[in-house]
Chains A and B, each alone.
Chain A
Amino acid sequence: MDFIAAIPWREVGEASLDTLLMLGVSMAFTLLLGLPLGVLLFLTGKRCLIERVAFYNALSFVVNVLRSVPFIILLIVMMPLTEILVGTSLGVPGSIPPLVVGAVPFFARLVETALREIDRGIIEATQAMGATTWQIVTRALIPEALPGIVAAVTVTAIALVSYTAMSGIIGGGGLGDLAVRYGYHRNQSDVMAITVVLLLVLVQALQTFGDKLVLHFTRR
């Protein structure tokens, strides 16, 4: 009983909500920016609809650079930019920009890969119908790659969960922040354990839900 009483439940609840908020907002921005970027990577790639090798290589390089920076370093490097963008580098708002910048290249690559899985014949058939590139993307490519894109969203969301926990270390709020403050600074390992369990539950839920959606959209 002492054990349960000693846990700052209110704070655990608030931290959980913060994590969900960070996850939701950053995932939304990641989708908004990463999907077009992934499509652009796919379209401009070799032997693709609007092949632009130089452009593709440049874009691909930028994506690779961002992906190769460890997230914890990205957090620190981005602080000035984050302050310009949202006015603070702390708390939930302060953690959104680095989360998005960390996740977008990752997600875009996954989208590109999912699009590459589509049979070239389908693209060709759609072209032969007289579709515009926009129609090919929105009516053929994305619907055909939807299971792959949903799987990419799942993987990205889970990566974001661990990123949010990391951003807690530099005062980003959420469960990671809680774990650092109680588990590390005050040595309350029970709080640490609870945050870990909550994060685990979140990851499990995301994966299960994602898998269900993938299955739902798979017609092959």
Chain B
Amino acid sequence: MSAILEFQKVSKSYRVAKRRVPALCDIDLGVEAGEVFGIVGRSGAGKSTLLRLINRLERPDDGRILVDGHDVSQLDDTALRALRQKIGMIFQHFNLLSSRTVAQNIAFPLRISGELGDDEIRERVAALIDRVGLKEHARKYPAQLSGGQKQRVGIARALSTRPRLLLCDEATSALDPRTTQSMLHLLNEINEELKLTIVLITHEMNVIRSLCDRVAVLDEGRVVETGAVADVFLHPRHSVSRRFVHESEDVDEDLLNTAFDRVDGRLFRLTARGDTTYEPLLSGVARECGVDFCIVSGHVARIKNVPYSQIVLGMKGERVETALERFSSKGVTVEALR
């Protein structure tokens, strides 16, 4: 694998009322070709700024941004336009041209680049319309579509020039949960079918969980944690990441701590991933080692397509250590909380 996108010590500030307001500080990131890379952060964390630096809708104050090894800020106008034509972008508010039909919107980037003839454009647009499931809507105008349908047009439009990199700015934030799911599903399929690299930004950890391979957590213009989604999700190291995970799982940290206080004995967090998730380990180990346990909190879900379970146990008994070893040997990650 090679990095298709790299941020090297990138900083960016905005000038507001004659003062410089920092938006991003010292960003170092690498995105591998073919992966779905998520950037999560609160409102104002600098996510959009980060994304817009990639196709130079914004310029950095400092540092370098490399796309396919080329420094984006070194490009002249022609090279920049060529680069932009090969980077797809979708937006929270879709940004479709209201004066053009679905088909015309999807054809628009191709008309701009001028690399294809009319027939080829028509063919490619028809295939894309089919791909995103809008066959009946090709001649409609954006105003006649639902939000989910508009975003499908946005996706098809972004894919029309066959880009290698797709940037998504809060692509699902204006959609209801169900539509969000179908959109994430579509993006996932596209990532796999086309081996397309996707960089997406969101404030919802659930979007990261269902779609991304790796994630960077952005807080006040800095990357506070980055890693494989499963690692960041199951073992967040930074308090901001932890809060995002808890929010997505509807966990109230204070309540959880009160619950922990009420448990007698030691506390452990057990994490199982993949097939281990569905093995009847708890009762077996408890029986063998003669320990008693209570479940204080627990969560079973999926990260991308990998199931996992994470539970906090209060455990009592003579052979707690043996039980823990047994869990570890079965591939369960054990962390002692108390």
Stretch at the interface among B81-89, B194-202, B204-212, B295-303: B81-89
CB pair B97–A140 under 8 Å, yes or no, is: yes
Q: Which of A128, A132, A143, A217 contacts B97 (CB 8 A)?
A: A143
Contact with B along A105-120 (1 / 0, CB 8 A): 0000000000000010
Count of chain B residues with a beta carbon within 8 Å of a chain A beta carbon: 27
Q: How far is the CA of A146 from the CA of B99 in the complex (A)?
A: 9
Q: Which of B100, B142, B143 contacts A143 (CB 8 A)?
A: B100
CB pair A125–B95 under 8 Å, yes or no, is: yes
The smallest beta-carbon distance between A150 and chain B, in angstroms, is: 12
CB pair A219–B81 under 8 Å, yes or no, is: no
CB pair B57–A127 under 8 Å, yes or no, is: yes
The smallest beta-carbon distance between A144 and chain B, in angstroms, is: 5
Q: How far is the CA of A119 from the CA of B328 in the complex (A)?
A: 56
Is the CB of A135 closer than 8 A to any CB of chain B?
yes
Is the CB of A124 closer than 8 A to any CB of chain B?
yes
Is the CB of B308 closer than 8 A to any CB of chain A?
no
The smallest beta-carbon distance between B97 and chain A, in angstroms, is: 6
Q: Which of B80, B82, B89 contacts A125 (CB 8 A)?
A: B89
Task: Enumerate A118-166 residues with CB–CB distance to B below 8 Å.
Answer: 119, 121-122, 124-132, 135, 139-140, 143-144, 146
A contact face: mostly helix, strand, loop, or mixed: helix
CB pair B112–A139 under 8 Å, yes or no, is: yes
Q: Which of B83, B109, B143 contacts A219 (CB 8 A)?
A: B143
Is the CB of A185 closer than 8 A to any CB of chain B?
no
Residues of chain A contacted by B95 (CB below 8 angstroms): 119, 121-122, 124-125
- For B143, give the chain A residue with the smallest CB separation: A220
Q: Which of A126, A131, A139, A220 contacts B98 (CB 8 A)?
A: A220
The smallest beta-carbon distance between B108 and chain A, in angstroms, is: 7
Is the CB of B91 closer than 8 A to any CB of chain A?
yes
Contact with A along B44-77 (1 / 0, CB 8 A): 0000000000010100000000000000000000
The smallest beta-carbon distance between A204 and chain B, in angstroms, is: 28
Is the CB of B111 closer than 8 A to any CB of chain A?
yes
Is the CB of B141 closer than 8 A to any CB of chain A?
yes
Q: How far is the CA of A123 from the CA of B89 in the complex (A)?
A: 13
Is the CB of B283 closer than 8 A to any CB of chain A?
no
Is the CB of B113 closer than 8 A to any CB of chain A?
yes
With A121-B91, A122-B97 known as contacts, the answer to whether A131 contacts B55 (CB < 8 A) is no
Residues of chain B contacted by A119 (CB below 8 angstroms): 93, 95
**Number of cross-chain contacts by CB at 8 Å:** 66
Residues of chain A contacted by B85 (CB below 8 angstroms): 129-130
Residues of chain B contacted by A217 (CB below 8 angstroms): 99
Q: How far is the CA of A127 from the CA of B77 in the complex (A)?
A: 12
Residues of chain A contacted by B112 (CB below 8 angstroms): 126, 129-131, 135, 139
Residues of chain A contacted by B143 (CB below 8 angstroms): 219-220
With A129-B84, A130-B81 known as contacts, the answer to whether A219 contacts B91 (CB < 8 A) is no
The smallest beta-carbon distance between B61 and chain A, in angstroms, is: 18
Q: How far is the CA of A132 from the CA of B76 in the complex (A)?
A: 13
With A139-B111, A139-B112, A219-B142 known as contacts, the answer to whether A128 contacts B99 (CB < 8 A) is no
Contact with A along B90-109 (1 / 0, CB 8 A): 01010111111000000011
Q: How far is the CA of A128 from the CA of B91 in the complex (A)?
A: 11
Residues of chain A contacted by B142 (CB below 8 angstroms): 219
Q: How far is the CA of A44 from the CA of B218 in the complex (A)?
A: 34
Residues of chain A contacted by B100 (CB below 8 angstroms): 143
- For B93, give the chain A residue with the smallest CB separation: A121
Task: Enumerate A4-45 residues with CB–CB distance to B below 8 Å.
Answer: none
Q: A132-B81, A139-B111 given; name 13 further pairs at CB < 8 Å.
A: A119-B93, A121-B91, A125-B89, A125-B95, A125-B96, A126-B108, A128-B55, A129-B109, A129-B112, A129-B161, A131-B112, A143-B100, A219-B143
A-B contact pairs, 25 of them (CB 8 A): A119-B93, A119-B95, A121-B93, A121-B95, A122-B98, A125-B89, A125-B95, A126-B97, A126-B112, A128-B84, A129-B84, A129-B112, A129-B113, A130-B80, A130-B81, A130-B83, A130-B84, A130-B85, A130-B112, A132-B81, A139-B108, A139-B112, A140-B97, A143-B99, A220-B98
Sorted nearest first, the 5 A-B pairs with minimum C-beta distance are A130-B84, A125-B95, A130-B85, A130-B81, A121-B95
